[in-house]
Chain A
Amino acid sequence: MRVNWKTYNPGKFFDEIISSPGYARKPARRLAGYLRSLTHEELQQKKTAAELAIKTMGISFTVYSDAGNIDREWPMDIIPRLITGSEWDQTSKGLQQRLEALNCFIHDIYNDQKILKDKIVPKDLIMDSGNFRKQCLGMKPKYNVWAHICGTDLIKGDDGQFYVLEDNLRVPSGVSYMVENRRVTKRTFPELFADDYSIRPVADYPAELLDMLSSLSPRQVKHPEVVVLTPGVFNSAYFEHSYLAQRMGAELVEGGDLVVEDDKVYMRTIDGLSQVDVIYRRIDDMFIDPAVFNKDSVLGVRGLFNAWKKGNVALANAPGAGVADDKIIYTYVPEIIKYYLDEDPILANVPSYLCIDRSQRQHVLENLDKLVVKPANESGGYGMLIGPQASKKELAEFRRRIKADPRNYMAQPLISLSTVPILGDRVVEPRHVDLRPFVLQGDKSYVTPGGLTRVAMVKGSYVVNSSQGGGSKDTWVVDDA
């Protein structure tokens, strides 16, 4: 059976391809028509070929389970998602504006704390934050930038507008899959490229990343030594660590490969020690240096923090940057943008309620079954409550947790995520998606064209995390029709 857009039914949700049954939105028309031109067998063949390519190319991610860690093939749906160039240019500006403001905020928090003195953000919120690192006070990293790599999660609401769901400023992952998804799509639908669409390329991300990282080097040398620090092969994002190191031509190092002497960082090579200038660390703050943070950490490097504070090595992202990556601080971002940049936010937040505020907490507790509740600093969708889908027991449990620790929770109305079609075994069906673009800031800033689209593969589900069964899509930023 061929694709039939008349029976494709996104229901009340905003669908990015189909505006009403049988009618594709303008930029998506050629894609919709092309998909309809293929027979069911042709489509399924392409699907199988893409799956095989992913397996052979070794695009994988690791799932933690009781039975040990399993290396799984990366799940990707072959139908691409479209975003128009003009829409993206605007979104891109919004992302840069946001990261610039967040970096001003982090720098201020660890130095003058003006925003706290001016009472725009309550001081207690920062001091109580699990992501505030007092050891970083007084530090002035190059360009005053702390969060060099940011993965912002965006969603599209019923109105078709992008909203910011969260800012990931610690060790956001997924960018390698963005690049690899494109490589797979080129193999799968070569006929759509150039003939039908002019699609902005994404493959230069590693080069942009290397430029940015090199710009952070404390030593003024032509080719600074840039390394990627990974927790190791058992980490869920190991594929990405290795991928980025390979594409940048940087060394992929583990804690055991590095050693600090006289507050300088060296790596152990076959020809002895060799100095390191920039570390793109994919290890959480708490584990980077057992002398300063978690004493039991075997992933990190003793003395690394001091080497950084002395300005002998750059860390990206800087320790402590996570203070702005907190679901409570998130709610203050519009004020933060105004405060530092004196501009209106280009991208809107999803409306949120803070449980630490008495009247807002009251509202949350009374409407728990309609809201999504998130803890301040969990990631990967863990520890969340989706009110409308929760059992009475779960609701009661969260009521208890919020009362016990209001600082740690915020709530948002259940936003209707937009849908895009996925290719099922028999028909094309709508599924909910989000988008994670990646933003770089060093001596200059950069936004990926598009980003990683994550898709909930289960009908009606909002859970897009790959660790919980979500899939992904190639994301095309195309010229306006």
Chain B
Amino acid sequence: MLLSRVAERVYWQARYLERAENVARLLHVFSALQLDLPKGTKLGWQTLVQITGHEEQFAEKYKQENERNVVRFLLAERNGISLVDMLAFARENARTTREIMPTEAFELINGLYYFARDNAEAGISRAERNEVLDQIVSRSQQIGGLMAGTMSRDEAYSFVRLGRSLERADMTTRIVDVDSQKLMPELDVEDAEPEAREPYDNILWMNVLRSSSAYQMYRQHVRERINGEDVVRFLLQNEQFPRSTAHNLTTMTKVLRNLPNSNKVNWQVNKTRKLVRDADVNRLLRRGLVRHLDSVQKEIAQVHFKIADTWFLPGNS
């Protein structure tokens, strides 16, 4: 029978690992996006800090919201927020649950942490960033694959899936939350006509898809040319795509069937699912998307609190 403390650590290990991978994807896509923009245009790198929700910590340390500072802050700095620190936390949680995880899983997480720690600084410069981020994403995928291929479908694995799904569901809502106006502010100044922005909006949505490895799947699923409404719908509501918010919430309901005393959590997950599923994206895009995403994020946070209340040691979370 799984110890409450171990359940909690396994869950957080999965969350941190997933979060690190998401940060790597975001940085990757933003770096690519930068290259697609007309010469002299500066990308609103601050958006990345907003997506992760750490504006205050960033402002305390940096005056300029430029590429270098943002990448340093999110990738390499030892600030408890950066990708390297996410992996350090994932490793620490993995280290303290070694007795129940496959040995190779710990070795991979451990190796990934050392790789990131030793190479993050180099990843601040554009020249090596792609290579470093690619490695981090593919090694994270390898860890997920190894666990899927070697762990029994027991309670510990259920908590891995809960943590991963919750983090993914949440991160996708944050990625959808990017605002093209903020992201490419200078385009407004140079080109007053809305039509002039259009190609860049397309590039933006394309890159939003890419950040979730969703571009190809979207292409196969949606026949129309890329447009905001379809992209948002795909990322939030598509049940088949494994990084969409809806898919991950549904996964959680399936996982919950294998866990004892899951009623309250299940109720909260279903409440969140309904909120996501019933949203009228077309209307939201005209008005209220940000507020809607905010409330989805709050419901997801409630799912976490219900999980902690139900299974973790009291006074820990």
B95 surroundings in chain A (CB, below 8 A): 58, 233, 242
Q: Which of B96, B99, B110 has the most CB of A within 10 A?
A: B99
**Segment touching A, from B2-10, B217-225, B234-242:** B2-10
Interface readout for A232-265 with B: 1 if CB under 8 Å, 0 if not? 0100000000110110001111101100000000
**Cα separation A250 to B103 with both chains bound (whole Å):** 15
B107 surroundings in chain A (CB, below 8 A): 56-58
A55 on the B face (CB < 8 A) = yes
Q: Which of A243, A251, A272 has the most CB of B within 10 A?
A: A251
A245 surroundings in chain B (CB, below 8 A): 99
B279 on the A face (CB < 8 A) = no
Contact B3 A251 (CB under 8 A): yes
Q: Which of A242, A253, A269 has the most CB of B within 10 A?
A: A269
**Cα separation A270 to B7 with both chains bound (whole Å):** 7
**Cα separation A57 to B111 with both chains bound (whole Å):** 8
Contact A268 B110 (CB under 8 A): no
A55 surroundings in chain B (CB, below 8 A): 110, 114
A242 surroundings in chain B (CB, below 8 A): 95-96, 98-99
Known: A56-B111, A256-B313. A268 touches B3 (CB 8 A): yes
A250 surroundings in chain B (CB, below 8 A): 99
Contact B99 A246 (CB under 8 A): yes
A274: contacting residue among B1, B99, B114, CB under 8 A: B1
- Name the residue on B nearest A58 (C-beta): B110
Contact B2 A269 (CB under 8 A): yes
B203 on the A face (CB < 8 A) = no
A435 on the B face (CB < 8 A) = no
A267 on the B face (CB < 8 A) = yes
B2 surroundings in chain A (CB, below 8 A): 269-271
Q: Which of A254, A270, A272 has the most CB of B within 10 A?
A: A270
Interface readout for B250-290 with A: 1 if CB under 8 Å, 0 if not? 00000000011100000000000000000000000000000
A233 surroundings in chain B (CB, below 8 A): 92, 95-96
B16 on the A face (CB < 8 A) = no
- Name the residue on B nearest A241 (C-beta): B99
Interface readout for B90-115 with A: 1 if CB under 8 Å, 0 if not? 00100110111001001100110010
Residues of chain A in range 137-155 having any CB-CB distance to chain B below 8 Å:
none
Contact B155 A56 (CB under 8 A): no
**Cα separation A336 to B214 with both chains bound (whole Å):** 74
A268 surroundings in chain B (CB, below 8 A): 3-5, 313
B261 surroundings in chain A (CB, below 8 A): 270-271
Distance in angstroms from A236 CB to nearest chain B CB is 14
Contact B3 A267 (CB under 8 A): yes
A243 surroundings in chain B (CB, below 8 A): 98-99
B311 on the A face (CB < 8 A) = yes
A274 surroundings in chain B (CB, below 8 A): 1
Per the CB 8 Å criterion, the residue count for chain B at the interface is: 25
B111 surroundings in chain A (CB, below 8 A): 56
Q: Which of B4, B106, B155 has the most CB of A within 10 A?
A: B4
- Name the residue on B nearest A232 (C-beta): B96
Distance in angstroms from A454 CB to nearest chain B CB is 24
B5: contacting residue among A58, A257, A272, CB under 8 A: A257
Contact B1 A270 (CB under 8 A): yes
Distance in angstroms from A266 CB to nearest chain B CB is 11
- Name the residue on A nearest B92 (C-beta): A233
Q: Which of A55, A58, A233, A250 has the most CB of B within 10 A?
A: A58
Distance in angstroms from A57 CB to nearest chain B CB is 6
Contact A56 B110 (CB under 8 A): yes
- Name the residue on A nearest B9 (C-beta): A233
A257: contacting residue among B3, B98, B155, CB under 8 A: B3
A56 surroundings in chain B (CB, below 8 A): 107, 110-111, 114
B155 surroundings in chain A (CB, below 8 A): 270
Contact B313 A270 (CB under 8 A): no
Distance in angstroms from B44 CB to nearest chain A CB is 39
- Name the residue on A nearest B156 (C-beta): A270
**Cα separation A274 to B103 with both chains bound (whole Å):** 26
Residues of chain B in range 188-246 having any CB-CB distance to chain A below 8 Å:
none
- Name the residue on B nearest A243 (C-beta): B98
Residues of chain B in range 19-72 having any CB-CB distance to chain A below 8 Å:
none
Distance in angstroms from B297 CB to nearest chain A CB is 26
- Name the residue on B nearest A71 (C-beta): B95
Contact B5 A256 (CB under 8 A): yes
- Name the residue on B nearest A245 (C-beta): B99
B110 surroundings in chain A (CB, below 8 A): 55-58
Known: A56-B110, A270-B7, A271-B261. A246 touches B1 (CB 8 A): no
B5 surroundings in chain A (CB, below 8 A): 253-254, 256-257, 268
- Name the residue on A nearest B4 (C-beta): A268
**Cα separation A302 to B110 with both chains bound (whole Å):** 36
Distance in angstroms from A49 CB to nearest chain B CB is 15
**Cα separation A299 to B313 with both chains bound (whole Å):** 16
Residues of chain A in range 53-71 having any CB-CB distance to chain B below 8 Å:
55-58
Distance in angstroms from B304 CB to nearest chain A CB is 16
Distance in angstroms from A248 CB to nearest chain B CB is 9
Interface readout for B101-140 with A: 1 if CB under 8 Å, 0 if not? 0010011001100100000000000000000000000000
**Cα separation A40 to B100 with both chains bound (whole Å):** 41
A228 surroundings in chain B (CB, below 8 A): 99
- Name the residue on A nearest B1 (C-beta): A269
**Cα separation A128 to B221 with both chains bound (whole Å):** 80
Interface readout for A163-191 with B: 1 if CB under 8 Å, 0 if not? 00000000000000000000000000000
**Cα separation A233 to B89 with both chains bound (whole Å):** 13
Contact B98 A246 (CB under 8 A): yes
A251: contacting residue among B99, B114, B259, CB under 8 A: B99
**Cα separation A268 to B99 with both chains bound (whole Å):** 17
A253 surroundings in chain B (CB, below 8 A): 3, 5
- Name the residue on A nearest B314 (C-beta): A268
Contact A270 B4 (CB under 8 A): yes
Contact A269 B4 (CB under 8 A): yes
Distance in angstroms from B22 CB to nearest chain A CB is 25
**Cα separation A296 to B3 with both chains bound (whole Å):** 25
A269 surroundings in chain B (CB, below 8 A): 1-4
**Cα separation A243 to B98 with both chains bound (whole Å):** 7
**Cα separation A58 to B313 with both chains bound (whole Å):** 27
Contact B259 A246 (CB under 8 A): no
Known pairs A55-B110, A58-B107, A246-B100 / 19 extra A-B pairs, C-beta < 8 Å: A55-B114, A56-B107, A56-B110, A58-B95, A242-B98, A243-B98, A250-B99, A251-B3, A252-B6, A256-B5, A267-B3, A268-B5, A269-B1, A269-B2, A269-B4, A270-B2, A270-B260, A270-B261, A270-B311
Top 4 nearest A-B pairs by Cβ distance?
Answer: A245-B99, A246-B99, A269-B1, A271-B260
Interfacial residues, chain B to chain A (CB-CB below 8 A): 1-7, 92, 95-96, 98-100, 103, 106-107, 110-111, 114, 155, 259-261, 311, 313
Sample of 10 A–B contacts (CB below 8 Å): A242-B96, A242-B98, A246-B103, A251-B3, A256-B5, A268-B3, A268-B313, A270-B155, A271-B260, A274-B1
